[in-house]
């Protein structure tokens, strides 16, 4: 066992010495080093192009691969460019507001207009929250019988 360990140590020392001999002089010409700061990598025109592509219907996931950016970076750039965001979930505060307005008797269309969302989005929020919806015709609800 000690011979095997000695061989492993010798191999590691050999590789370490090889790494120390690598030329670390600066590269002439364009560097292959990736710039991590988006402010340095993207021009204002590129930022505007990203926002315009998104508003034209390009998914943010496509923009991430096209511009070699992370999803969070693309979303941040879109917010900075005041792009209209698609399919953004309601915040916890908005959900609480929707539930409270529904329980106070507001229609889904009226709630949607109040929070700036479509009435179908409000419907989905209420279904997920388990809030019973009111009958707009004021009919008596007949409870569904449990299935077989």
Q: Which two tokens stand for residue 17?
A: 């010495």
* CB contact burial 55-64 (16+ within 10 A = b; e otherwise): eeeeebeebb
Between the CA of residue 48 and those of 44, 62, 72, what are the distances in Å? 6, 16, 17
- 13 lies in some domain: no
Comparing CA positions, the residue from 40, 39, 27 lying closest to residue 77 is 39
Those residues with Cβ within 8 angstroms of residue 40's Cβ, 6 or more apart along the chain or in another chain: none
- 120 lies in some domain: yes
Q: What is the pLDDT of residues 27-59, one digit of tens each?
A: 454 544 454 677 778 888 999 999 999 999 888
- 18 lies in some domain: no
Give the pLDDT of residue 52: 92
- 1 lies in some domain: no
Going by the DSSP 8-state scheme, the letter that residue 37 receives in this structure is -
Give the pLDDT of residue 33: 47
- 19 lies in some domain: no
- 4 lies in some domain: no
> Which pTM was predicted?
0.44
Domain limits at 97?
92-129
- Of 32-36, 99-103, 143-147, which has the strongest mean pLDDT? 99-103
- 119 lies in some domain: yes
Give the pLDDT of residue 32: 45
CA distance 21 to 52: 49
- 10 lies in some domain: no
- Give the chain's domain count: 2
């Amino acid at each position: 066992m000690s011979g095997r360990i000695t061989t492993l140590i010798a191999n590691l020392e050999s590789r370490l010495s090889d790494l120390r001999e690598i030329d670390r002089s600066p590269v002439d010409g364009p560097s292959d080093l990736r710039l991590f700061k988006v402010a340095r990598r993207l021009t204002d025109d590129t930022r505007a192009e990203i926002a315009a592509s998104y508003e034209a219907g390009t998914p943010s996931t496509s923009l991430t691969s096209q511009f070699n950016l992370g999803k969070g970076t693309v979303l941040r750039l879109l917010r900075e460019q005041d792009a209209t965001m698609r399919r953004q979930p309601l915040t916890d505060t908005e959900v609480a507001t929707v539930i409270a307005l529904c329980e106070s008797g507001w229609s889904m269309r009226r709630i949607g207009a109040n929070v700036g969302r479509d009435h179908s989005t409000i419907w989905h929020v209420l279904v997920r929250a388990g809030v019973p919806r009111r009958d707009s015709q004021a009919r008596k609800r007949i409870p569904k019988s449990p299935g077989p």
